[in-house]
Amino acid sequence: MDSNQKSRYIPIIIAVSIVAGIFIGTFYANRFSGNRKETGAIGNYSNKLNGLLRIIDDQYVDTVNMSDLIEDAMPQILGELDPHSSYIPAKDLQAVNDDLRGSFSGIGVQFTIQQDTIHISDVIAGGPSEKVGIMPGDRIVEIDDSAFVGKIVTNNESMKRLKGPKGSEVKLGVFRQGEKELLHFTIIRGDIPNKSIKAAYMINDKFGYINIEKFSETTYPEMLISLAKLHQDNCQGIIIDLRGNTGGYMGPAIQMVNEFLPKGRLIVYTEGRKAPRENYPSNGTGSSQQMPLIVLLDEGSASASEIFAGAIQDNDRGTIIGRRSFGKGLVQQPIEFNDGSAIRLTIARYYTPSGRCIQKPYQKGKDEQYELDLLTRYEHGEFFSQDSIKQDESHIFYTSLGRPVYGGGGIMPDIFVPQDTTGMTSYFRMAVNRGLTIQFSFQYTDRNRQKLQKYTNADDLLKYLKTQNILEKFAQFAESKGLKRRNILMYQSKELFDRNLYGNIIYNMLNMEEYLKYLNQSDKTVLKALEILEKEESFPQAPEQQSASAHERTEETIA
């Protein structure tokens, strides 16, 4: 290797050394300043790395952009610890925090990017955009007197320009169908709610359904409102849907579990090398302690979702239905730096009441196997057959009633429901993977917005859509985009296409709750939950109390 090739690696080595020094020095300064005296070992490391930094600054042959190298190297250093310790650059921290704070400052629209242009799909009621007259179907083509179309229009860039401090102004140039000239609006940004509960409604005359997308600062009060609403409707049992919920804050998850448990039950505990064990018990003030409860999980349910489900399962408080959860049992502490950046450092593990740490195995440093775990599960058939799941029987624990549960990789449901592949064909898969179903649904909605506006709920809109030969129109659209028509395959996947296309149009025209109402009508996991509630089997029984018929039903579900 010649000297030029060697020189390519010098900046990386420098960056890692610099960042290690800055990271260790800053972390321990922030963490322990005023509380503990710095140990000799830490002092020696810090002095050595700071000395190296000064030497590089004084003597290195070329000019080095330290800031850029540090930003590039920080994620690599934290990546050597575990899969969930992470670095957040200053430019991204606001967006990361906004996602879990329950609100952000912006103009109050929901949009999609089609053909390099922002298309407004919904306007938040009472928000800044509605107040000035922005409407669904409008296209934003100018921002602050500058054209904003073409390749520059990405989701990140659009959010960056539309969001901003509360009270600040943004000028928009809007194209609206039927108008000959651009419309211009000046909008004063304001606080926009970012709700984490996407649906809460009576799924039939007896039972309620709550869909929780994430665990943010406002999730617990949102759930209290949802529960109160369902109680007023004489709800006799609740389905909590945590599928695809990747987690968030642990605190709201603990508060929410508390609503369902009697006093003195352990919800979760945390423990780490520098973090003594801390127990989080229920206090007995919950409003739904006797309400029959079902929790839905899948492979996308992680972190706080697993705290919630694990507490319900280990306390035998309800039934978990679906597929094995993700398996994230590490607790991150946010630590901010003076430049506005931050890290999320793993400081402890959390454990379910039975003592399970459900963090799936990982190796320190970059762990490709960990990153590809869900793909590996899919290839092994775990999404389709419970028999494909290999439980680690060396990590066996017991619920309050003595039922066996396992650690070492996610929450295993009490009742397994496989991923539904009925009607799946290569034609449907290509249509979805190329984004054609989403494109068609949006364009159909956009062209027919005036006709569709008179339908205010999913059932009425669905009745109309079923008269419009949507699948045929989609096939023509897809062929114009290069997807060759395959009539036999298309009609084999008709139910999947109908569900996908109708659902997208309902979502575009109405809201997430109406969209979920439509999907839940044929969702096999939801239907299984309703079956269990109807049979009054949502409270698990001790092994010796289980009847033969219950055992047979479980085996039937597995098959």
Q: Tell me the C-alpha distance between 504 and 492, whole Å.
A: 20
Query: CA distances (Å), 479 to each of 304, 431, 432, 440, 475, in order?
Result: 44, 10, 14, 12, 6
Q: Tell me the C-alpha distance between 475 and 428, whole Å.
A: 11
Q: Which residues pair with 215 in a beta bridge?
A: 248
Q: Which of 82, 98, 138, 314 is catalytic?
A: 314
Any idea what DSSP says for residue 38?
A: P
DSSP codes, 484-544:
---HHHHHHTHHHHHHHHHHHHHHHHS-HHHHHHHHHTS-HHHHHHHHHHHTT--S---GG
459 has catalytic annotation: no
Q: Which of 303, 341, 354, 493 is catalytic?
A: 303
- Given strand 238-241, what is the order of strands in its sheet? 197-202, 208-212, 238-241, 293-297, 319-322, 415-416
303 has catalytic annotation: yes
CB 120 within 8 A of CB 138: yes
CB 108 within 8 A of CB 128: yes
Q: Tell me the C-alpha distance between 376 and 8, whole Å.
A: 36
CB 176 within 8 A of CB 120: no
CB 280 within 8 A of CB 304: no
Q: Supply 129's token pair.
A: 């955009």
37 has catalytic annotation: no
Q: Supply 537's token pair.
A: 């089997």
Q: Which of 214, 328, 517, 528 is catalytic?
A: 328
Q: Which residues pair with 185 in a beta bridge?
A: 172
Active site amino acids:
303, 314, 328
